[in-house]
A and B are shown apart, each in its own frame.
Chain A
Amino acid sequence: MLRRTLYWSSHYLLIGLYVLFALFPLFWLIKVALTPDDLLYSEGIRLWPSHTSWDHFRFVLTHSEFPLFFRNSLIVSSSTAVTVTLVSGACGYGLSRFSFRGKPLLVALMLITQMFPLVMLVAPMFRLLAPLGLTNSLTGLAIVYSAFNAPFATFLMQSFFDAIPRELEEAAMIDGATRFGAFRRIILPLTLPGIAATGGFVFTAAWSELLFALMLNSSSQASTFPVGLLSFVSKFSVDFGQMMAAGVLALIPACLFFLLIQRYLVRGLTAGAVKG
């Protein structure tokens, strides 16, 4: 009995520490966002300012270009998520169900694309996209993000498909359905949680990307919110309060998305559970 109490109390203690560790920096973001400018430095270390103000949030929403940046981020991230889910879903299915010549090569290729520092790709990518009119555009950004996220999304989708036994489509194909038909009508509905998870994962990744958003797009019409955050750092002042407020606002969709999908990510990645 004592052993069990000891076990569970240490279990809860550790869980508590993890939750505290995860949430404290986020709490601090909110705290700074609610601190009026004059108290930012004089009361910097306090856990909560002596009086709070919503001014920063108000400014970000009404006086800055943030609503525009937010909208641009939404467009880019959603289209990237949709595109990647589609193409990586197809590729993941292919990798899961078939063995074909060039399969190891494809896997190696996808791995290699993850290994090259993105900083070096900026200039060549700019030169590639500029003549196509895809710089300074949200479309160009979505295309670039899709390429970046496709490899990892493919790996995710492959593991989701691995969890579903081949017998399901094969039975349907014996009954006369095409593979694609079986895929569409039988497999796809089963992997809906996995698809949602992958989509959410890609959305979060595209939502926070800064380097290419900064380098490929120049006008504020095509800027996403991470670039917008940078605009709070100017020579005349660094508006930390406003920057944190903008950051908190931008976190909301990403956190919501993530909260929704994290369950499915775990469930979907559980390869082999169905077989068990």
Chain B
Amino acid sequence: MNVLDIRGLSKKFGDFIAVDNMSLTVGEGEIFGFLGSNGAGKSTTINLVASLLRPSSGEINILDKNIAKHSRFAKMNLGIVPQDLAIYEDMTAFENVKFFAGLYGLRGEELKERTEEALKFVGLEDKAKSFPKNFSGGMKRRLNIACAIAHRPKLIIMDEPTVGIDPQSRIYILASVRKLNEMGCTIIYTSHYMEEVEEICSRIAIIDHGKIIADGTKEQLIATITDLKDIRIELKRGEPDLALSLKNIPGVRDVSVEDNMLRISSDMAVDNLSQILKVLIDSGADIRSVEEQEPNLETVFLTLTGRNLRD
């Protein structure tokens, strides 16, 4: 069963096309990453899934039910952590979570229990009676998450939940994303921080100008642009004669020597670093440093779109 199924989705604002014929499925238990620069269409897509915007064309299904036809069902199964904080500063943390959970139809004892549970989950149980205006940015973010998860949705969408917060809160939030996932939630995570997406997402879609230009696991995405890795070995002195014997090692495609720097281009799939080092040591070379560079998602994005993620 697909938790989210988007087919031919488009959203136009006048002449401007924010989402362009997008199709996408997210399976149960995935942490799905949306990676794109600012203005690529991530937030518009999320607002469409949350029914905050009406699509110009295309359809969206949550748990195999069309959100336009089954809007109540869709809302009950969807938790959204918006990019801009959605909390009331003049209500206590507890009241905030209770208010949002109440909107989903929870009542009485159940409402109270779920509220406490959500606050506990984000580590704010001892701040239940405090007002968010005195909270740090990170704490406000966590409260924001608590508001979105109290009704135990199947699908949680987090729109840039780590923008502008301290590293500690960031680590906490990333950990709670994993924990939510382990508890059976499917998560869609948008960010323009490549490292975060690389770290926690099981599948990633690169989105640009409202289109998904590539999707898959990190490894699959990298494989779309290259199957080579770069190994740089700094030696005490240049050994141009080594190049030939290195080229015989399986996986090695190309070797170049510049002064005392050895650059080896090798198949990513072949694990041959120890063999390379052995050849070097056997020939008496004096190794100063070894660096293995695999392309990352930033490189993928740059290669495919010609721009940096943070442009």
Question: Do they bind each other?
Answer: no
B residues near A (Cβ < 8 Å) are: none
